[in-house]
Structure 1
């Protein structure tokens, strides 16, 4: 049995058992692709794919617990000991449709033919139960040299699936590898093919790149190649301030979504622009809200400091911002601010000083808030309707928001009788 150092012991044992079962029935079987690559790179292995000379029907006949997840592509998912392994028959692929998926696949009996269809040499590796590695394209050497290189012709590989260009950048970024000359040349020459790729697939690659240890490496490659100018929802990398972008890697250990907020700040995106872009890039509602929240806070804060204000006014304005944007957004904004270079907003010194005051005292002001949401108030909309003998309407929502703001700032105590008195006062003023 291979002594894996980067794999959960039980996962390795169960996957070895799958290979053993196939071998004992006379079929070739290998671990393939990412798990072999990451073991050589001494990176954690999360899943273990298997390739075999057995047909999908033969695989399903051997294993009682399996799922026909991709029979048209030769893939069967085998469950062993609670772990799931994708077992795929050796195959070649015919002409690709729309520069992203093969028109058909053909099963073959030679593992080297299977490896020949893969994207990069470091992924075209297979290993048997004895630890012997099949490496027909020099993947091990490229891993040792820190190089991303296409299997065979880069023009062919990128023409088959244009997403491979972004995978190339992602691997170079995450592994801190260089890109082989011909591979880079092929990427630059064929980047217009990215227009055929669904934005969901583009986003997935970008998210992995941004979550890696060297996102600046990837962003630099995207700037040089201008690849993102050719996706369906294009981005011009020239709009990004390099000094601001360089702060992204300082967010190690923080929520990865903060890197996206920082990137969009560096690109001088407004909240509205960011929201449109992230929708096109198919970010989830929750992720989009979290990323945009920082930009929304930034816009409100910049509006607040356009006039000279004292500390108490700044405190009130900050609390109103917390209520408007939410605690998470303001906390994220406070996390990012100390990392940004001094004077990046190119504002007057007076405005920068006020933002500095908010930055230094914002957390304390947030902690001073007694209420954050309408449900925290010790009075309800029903209480107000009964008190005033009125029917509901937009006025009630406006009044509740007013009570929330005044209570959060501390102008009104969050007590039922105090809130009741304020409702009576506002009602009396409205009649006057």
Structure 2
């Protein structure tokens, strides 16, 4: 039964979000139904972590919820979930339910609505997520989730093998939570992962990648990577995770890279696994990374390969010109990310590139007068008019040469000078 406390004041949730969700709960109460905050928001508030969203569970059937609120989106009404819109905020409101028949180790074949919140909490994955909190501060915590949080333990609700067979993604979530929170995994829960891990191929790669994104953006991704390896889950995925730590220096530096730069962390991981650029691009595609993220990560890998393809440091001017070529080819943003990556490596006391070389490369980047074609004071059309020529493949070559020479500071970024240089390039080509 619910345990009574004083009225709750949310300390770690946005005040407008807390007020909006409380309004939803009060409205359900006013119509004679039970309603509680549930799941991650309750867990994070108890742990003192920032609350990102606030889900609500209720005894009201989904059709009833739809009739009570003027603005509702039936997002998952078949399974009891609707999205209630209040004061510009959206809240998922789900009817108490039990589930059965997980034929694909992911989605329940049958959902039955129930009248008791404790029955709803019984279907949830881990004890820390199987808690509900009432508007008056009452706790519903039948599986001692608060105790497990205090003990820093992740424990399944009931039989771990049953929970993981219901939804195989829960095994990855378990490791993600252990990595982010720094919690240990209860012995029976760990045994459950080992017993059921062969069901993981049922889970779509994009769902696993989304969990790993959260893990990689967390405070200790190395712990999560270690648990993936120890559990053997990395080999059971539909597209196996290529775990092979060949460069521990760069992998161990991942936590030193600011967590906001998620794709740089992924690039560091792939570099640490020593996966060639061509294979990495295929892997990123199979792992459903977006085109933008794939381009960012692949660009960093290509930048790294090109920079280390020959001896550096014997000829400073040759190094500077190579650096400028790479910046123009891959973009200033990629160059900046590459510098940040190696600066993070150096903070660990290990290094692939000495700090003075990084400082020098950053100065070269900052001193480049142009970094892309749009920075030139001369356009392709202006070249055509000045040279009285028709367009063709030659134009791209001329523009790239002008861009490189200007970026390298060989002549100023002035329109008349660029036209003269373009004429000389054409004359040289025609000789």
In structure 1, the partner of 2:143 is 137
- Structure 1 residue 209 and structure 2 residue 215: aligned? yes
Which consecutive unaligned segments of at least 5 residues does structure 1 have? 346-351
Counterpart CA distance in 2 for 1:128 and 1:380 is: 65
Counterpart CA distance in 1 for 2:23 and 2:121 is: 23
In structure 2, the partner of 1:380 is 379
In structure 2, the partner of 1:87 is 93
Counterpart CA distance in 1 for 2:30 and 2:382 is: 76
Instruction: Spell out the pairing of 1:330-409 with structure 2 (5 A cutoff).
Output: 330-340=335-345, 358-409=357-408
Aligned length: 423
In structure 1, the partner of 2:4 is none
Summarize deviations over 1:228-257 as a string: whole Å, max 9, x none.
222122123234533322111112365232
Counterpart CA distance in 1 for 2:426 and 2:21 is: 73
Which consecutive unaligned segments of at least 5 residues does structure 2 have? 1-6
How big is the shift at 1:13? 2.7
SS of 1:102 mapped into structure 2: coil
Tell whether the 8 Å contact from 2:217 to 2:260 is kept in structure 1 after alignment: no
Q: Which of 309, 325, 343 is the equivalent residue of 2:330?
A: 325
In structure 2, the partner of 1:292 is 298
Tell whether the 8 Å contact from 1:304 to 1:317 is kept in structure 2 after alignment: no
Counterpart CA distance in 1 for 2:246 and 2:181 is: 24
Between stretches 325-334 and 371-380, larger displacement belongs to: 371-380
In structure 2, the partner of 1:314 is 319
Tell whether the 8 Å contact from 2:343 to 2:355 is kept in structure 1 after alignment: no
Q: Which of 31, 34, 45 is the equivalent residue of 1:28?
A: 34
SS of 2:383 mapped into structure 1: helix
Counterpart CA distance in 2 for 1:15 and 1:371 is: 51
How big is the shift at 1:395? 1.8
Tell whether the 8 Å contact from 2:369 to 2:407 is kept in structure 1 after alignment: yes
SS of 1:84 mapped into structure 2: strand
Summarize deviations over 1:136-165 as a string: whole Å, max 9, x none.
222111111111111111111111111111
Change (3 A) 1:99 1:34: same
Summarize deviations over 1:178-206 as a string: whole Å, max 9, x none.
00111111112322222111111111101
Tell whether the 8 Å contact from 1:315 to 1:358 is kept in structure 2 after alignment: no
Tell whether the 8 Å contact from 2:83 to 2:93 is kept in structure 1 after alignment: yes
How big is the shift at 1:11? 2.5
- Structure 1 residue 54 and structure 2 residue 60: aligned? yes
Between stretches 316-325 and 191-200, larger displacement belongs to: 191-200
Between stretches 355-364 and 406-415, larger displacement belongs to: 355-364
SS of 1:97 mapped into structure 2: coil
In structure 1, the partner of 2:3 is none
Tell whether the 8 Å contact from 2:217 to 2:259 is kept in structure 1 after alignment: no
Q: Which of 153, 165, 183 is the equivalent residue of 2:171?
A: 165
Counterpart CA distance in 1 for 2:88 and 2:379 is: 51
Instruction: Spell out the pairing of 1:145-224 with structure 2 (5 A cutoff).
Output: 145-224=151-230
RMSD over equivalenced CA pairs, Å: 2.0
Query: TM-score w.r.t. structure 1 length?
Result: 0.92
